[in-house]
Amino acid sequence: MTAVLDHRLRKVRKCGKMFPFMQHLKIYLDGVFVNEPDAKISVFDHGLLYGDGVFEGIRFYNGRVFLLEEHLDRLFDSAKAILLTIPLERDALRAAVLETCRQNQLRDGYIRLVVTRGKGDLGLNPNSCLKPTVFIIAATIVLYPEKFYTEGLRVNTVPTQRVSPAALSPAIKSLNYLNNIMAKIEGNLYGAQESILLNQQGFVAECTADNIFVIKQEQILTPHVTDGALGGITRRLMFDLAKKMGREIREANLTRYDLFVADEIFLTGTGAEVVPISEVDGRKIGPGRVGRITQEFIAAFRERTQNTGVSIY
């Protein structure tokens, strides 16, 4: 299978050089590259009908895909957890990710790697889906204007609670994001840039697409993943960066009160990277500006992104 994919990649790469005037994004779709308007899946795809599938959001910087192996690990783990067989070997999938970046002649941007259950019927039973669908998008991204990285975000806690881990494990990065979207809508109604979800016990879980870190008297705390937080790839990196900075991050049960009285708060995510929080539910955090420790994490993260990763070219 890998040999077949490599042959297709070489063929499409050759074709891409023949048509440099084409401006459409090239999308990887089930083994071939197609122009964005032609990247279509069936209306009977269970990813569309039921959110039945898994995905990864991956960043690439300076011609290198950042933390690619970690993202592939989580993708295959998520797929295994929902009994979804990814129809590509890991090496072939890695090659497809890199080639998608090359097809679009990008050195910095965002990758969306998606595997759905595939085309089935209108019934819920996934046994009707005979072949999973795989598509990969590589494009540019700006999640927040640069001013938010220097001034911080305003966030609100919202009524929508995080789905209980007993109902659906937060470790599974599935296509079903309605819980997060409802929280995002409520945050928009408040005029906030992000929303914080609590779990059923009233503890802080995570934001709509980011993990959260709280600093109080130089102690760095983050919610347990068992509280409903996704074990984010960038979240995990913060533990590594903290050690190199001579600091320690501890998991803890956090309440809204812990947010209100924090000295500093920052969020982490593949899209958001490391972004500070300046206000929670109308309360200014610390002095209302980006704190020293948060600045250290932002600097350490940005340095790591520019110097590590899997080479695209």
Q: Is residue 152 part of a domain?
A: yes
Q: Which one of 111, 126, 141 terminates a domain?
A: 141
Number of domains in the chain: 2
Give the per-residue pLDDT at 142.
Answer: 81
73 lies in the same domain as 13: yes
Q: What is the CATH number of the domain that holds 72?
A: 3.30.470.10
Last residue of a domain, one of 141, 157, 191: 141
* Residue 19 structural domain: 2-141
Per-residue pLDDT of the chain (313 residues; tens, 9 = 90+): 444 445 444 444 443 333 333 478 999 999 999 999 999 999 999 999 999 999 999 999 999 999 999 999 999 999 999 999 999 999 999 999 999 999 999 999 999 999 999 999 999 999 999 999 999 999 998 888 899 999 999 999 999 999 999 999 999 999 999 999 999 999 999 999 999 999 999 999 999 999 999 999 999 999 998 888 889 999 999 999 999 999 999 999 999 999 999 999 999 999 999 999 999 999 999 987 899 999 999 999 999 999 999 999 9
Global model pTM greater than 0.85: yes
295 assigned to some structural domain = yes
CATH number for the domain that contains residue 265: 3.20.10.10
Cβ-proximal residues to 98 (8 Å cutoff; 6+ apart), any chain: 65, 310, 312
The pLDDT of residue 12 is 41
* Boundary of a domain, candidates 76, 109, 141: 141
In a domain, 133, yes or no: yes
Identify whether 312 is part of a domain: no
Q: How far apart are CA 137 and CA 115, in angstroms?
A: 12
For 107, the token pair is 């050195």
Domain shared by 80 and 196, yes or no = no
Does residue 199 share a domain with residue 107?
A: no
Helix/strand/coil for 134: strand
Does the residue 313 lie in any domain?
no
With b meaning 16 or more CB within 10 Å and e meaning fewer, what string describes 20-44?
eeeeebbbbbebebbeeeebebeee
DSSP state string for 29-63 = ETTEEEEGGG----TTBHHHHH--EEEEEEEEETT
| Same structural domain, 186 and 123 | no
Look up 173 and say whether it is catalytic.
yes
DSSP letters spanning 189-210 = HHT-SEEEEE-TTS-EEEESS-
281 shares its domain with 163: yes
Catalytic annotation, pick one of 173, 184, 216, 284: 173
Q: Is residue 236 part of a domain?
A: yes
